[in-house]
Chains A and B, each alone.
Chain A
Amino acid sequence: MISLDVWMRENPLTYVWFGSYAVALLIFAIEIAMVKHKRKITLQQVRLMRNAGDDTKTSISEEDSA
């Protein structure tokens, strides 16, 4: 731990950057990825629901058009 203290005082900017900013940006990146993933999953679900719900309807409409 003493070596860390020394290193920290010799390279304060590296400590600040990697210690806090990189971690904060990583957390932001993870959050953005989570939000994007959730959107993808939700869209898939909604499409599945729609397709499942549509099967009966489309078959009728196809008969109509034919």
Chain B
Amino acid sequence: MAINWFKYAAPTTFYGLAGKMIPWFAFSAAILFAIGLYIGFFVAPSDAQQGEFYRIMFIHVPASILSMFLYLIMAGYAALGLIFNTRLSAMMATAIAPTGALFALISLWTGALWGKPMWGAWWMWDARLTSELILLFLYLGFIALHASIDDPRRADRAAALLAIVGSVNVPIIYFSVKWWNTLHQGSTIKFSGTTMHVAMQQALFTMLAACWLYAIAVVLARVRSIILERERNAAWVTQLPGIADFAGGEK
């Protein structure tokens, strides 16, 4: 069976599709969060060296992974939008940015809280924490540039170019920071054992999946608003049930 995938690349169809998918993603994210927290706090044993503090990992690691992947996905969408001039890709890139920035923020916050009992200081210029901070700066730059250009088309394209330049720079930044860090002999969090307990892994993966689902749900919800905003003059928007009913009901 041939499915026309490009059908879903049009904002019109995507708007409806996203609306149907959001509850499913949100619901499964909530359930997985509950399961992950249960395993993380009640099933997983405490670590020999880090005691209970290591449990911050279950939110810290997924948040870090998400913030990095979301940047790459955002840059990917931005590149698609720039090269093929598809409207939806640019909107997706715009919708992903705030979520990515918030995950970077969570990662920094929890990293600092993990660092306090482990290192005795809230902030260490550890390679990963520093890269995460720079990643947050890159997200903020993207959001600020997009917000300060009034013409949506120029905003999309300028921000897209910035995201691409940023994603080329991310590996360079990461390795330079890592190199800088080894020269200055910073400490990193290490686990006492070579392997993690099975329950720890389960909790970690469940939380990771939950974060992914949450991110997808929020991004889809945000992109729906952006589609509405951009296409408010299109015929299909005025025929949407919520809007048409409202207009009729007021008369």
Contact = CB atoms under 8 A, between A and B. Distances in A.
Interface of A: 8-9, 12-13, 15-16, 19-21, 23-24, 27-28, 31-32, 34-36, 38-39, 42-43, 45-47, 49-51, 53-54, 58
**SS class, residues of chain B in contact with chain A:** helix
Contact of B228 (A23, A35, A46): A46
Nearest to A62: B251
Contact of B55 (A9, A16, A31): A16
A18 to B, nearest CB: 10
Contacts, number: 86
Name the residue among A13, A35, A36, A43 with the largest chain B CB count within 10 angstroms. Answer: A35
Give chain A's interface secondary structure class.
Answer: helix
Interface of B: 37, 41, 51-53, 55-56, 59-60, 63, 98-99, 102, 105-106, 109-110, 113-114, 116-117, 214, 218, 221-222, 224-225, 228-229, 232-233, 237-238, 242-243, 246-247, 250-251
A54 B214 CA distance: 38
Contact of B117 (A8, A39, A45): A8
Contacts of A9: 117
A23 B221 contact: no
12 contacts: A9-B117, A16-B55, A16-B113, A20-B56, A21-B59, A27-B105, A35-B218, A46-B237, A46-B238, A47-B246, A50-B247, A54-B247
Contacts of A32: 218
Contact of B63 (A19, A24, A58): A24
B251 A58 contact: yes
B225 A39 contact: yes
> Which of A45, A50, A53, A54 gathers the greatest number of chain B CB atoms within 10 Å?
A50
Contacts of A43: 228, 242-243
